[in-house]
Amino acid sequence: MEEKQHKRRAHYSGKYPKRFEEKYKELNPEKYRETVQHVMEKGSTPAGMHISIMVDEILEFLDIKPGMNGLDCTLGYGGHTEKMLEKLEGKGHLASLDVDPIESKKTIERLRNLGYGEDILRVHLINFKDIDQVAEIEGKFDFILADLGVSSMQIDNPERGFSYKTEGPLDLRLNPEKGQSAAERLREMDEEEIAGMLVENSDEPYAEEIARTVVQFRKAGRDIKTTGDMKHVIERALSFLPKAEQKEAVKKSCARTFQALRIDINHEYEVLYELLEKLPDVLNPGGKVAILTFHSGEDRLVKKSFKEYYRAGIYAEESRDVVRPSQEECIRNPRAKSTKMRWAIRERYEE
């Protein structure tokens, strides 16, 4: 029998690992709890993890009681789901949705290991635009949460292509098993379409320059396949700016461009519109819904929908003002800074 050789981990330079795959301690939080805690105390999110945002504010509003039937539209790392399950105290039921087959598998295993079986928690691998199909199985809901942010696990993993900060394939799909990658989508769009997408999805001020440069790269036979390629395009597009301004401008345009591409290939606005349209029909009378948004496009859609249904007498109440995370939370978790929470309560009496 051939002796199995021990494979050593790759050595990294410096005090702390920089590459995602080298952060083996952060990626194994059950085994290396002290390391994970240390990373979180520095105000960072450990690799492969996600720190749930505005948990206290969400729980205070939803006011979950044992015996209720609830829905988490965005399972992610399971942080919100776990806190809502604690409030149910083993009575009632919670359904959770996700389209990411990679991360949801890990989360389901984690929650099952905490003792949450099918009797109290059922996970559906389905897009939240199909919330009406879920309600046919689970019944109407007393409370619903939708956290529209991309999970840190997805952002930090270079293989998913969500961040310009690390080299990886220009993918950006929430479900990498379906649809087009961002690289494939860029190949078929003309200059006008690219510029329009950047303006509509992220208010990119240099949309025309970036779109023009993408097309120039294509004509020169330079395929934009990776996150680094896309960053290079943006650097070239903004090279006309004064040197002192370029670094910060490129950084901001990269963030906006990746956001715009992600929204486009995952059809995020269309999906959110369907969710908002179907929400009143899946809420029990007096049922509550809270939605966390992370950019102005999402927030505008949620605000408009809640206001229209309130004026129509379908929602009894809606949040006139947004609820924001506390300053302390933003210090602990910088990724919470752009978060806005809006809420609505279903009218108690049906017509």
Q: How far apart are CA 42 and CA 191, in angstroms?
A: 43
CA torsion, ordered 290, 295, 296, 302, to nearest 10 deg: -20
Shared-domain flag, residues 256 and 277? no
Final residue before a domain boundary, out of 197, 230, 265: 265
CB atoms within 10 A of CB 22: 16
Position 73 scores a pLDDT of 95
Position 11 scores a pLDDT of 54
Position 168 scores a pLDDT of 92
Predicted confidence band at 29 (pLDDT cuts at 50, 70, 90)? low
Shared-domain flag, residues 146 and 273? yes
- Taking the model in full, what pTM does it have? 0.82
Number of domains composing the chain: 2
Final residue before a domain boundary, out of 208, 243, 265: 265
Shared-domain flag, residues 143 and 278? yes
Q: Which residue has the tokens 């919670």?
A: 94
Shared-domain flag, residues 253 and 274? no
Shared-domain flag, residues 147 and 273? yes
Position 77 scores a pLDDT of 84
Final residue before a domain boundary, out of 213, 234, 265: 265
Task: Kindly report, residue by residue over 38-48, the tens digit of the pLDDT.
Answer: 444 454 554 45
3 state SS of 145: strand
Residue 253 belongs to what domain range?
175-265
Q: Token digits for 189? A: 């769009």
Q: Write down the H helix ranges in the chain.
A: 33-41, 55-62, 79-88, 101-113, 131-138, 152-156, 182-188, 191-202, 207-219, 227-237, 243-265, 268-282, 296-311, 327-332
Task: Kindly report, residue by residue over 52-97, the tens digit of the pLDDT.
Answer: 899 999 999 999 999 999 999 998 888 899 999 999 999 999 999 9
What would the DSSP string read from start to end of 50-74? Answer: -PPSSHHHHHHHH---TT-EEEES-
Q: Token digits for 279? A: 């929400």
* Res. 228: pLDDT tops 80: yes
Position 34 scores a pLDDT of 53
Shared-domain flag, residues 281 and 326? yes
- What amino acid occupies position 338? S
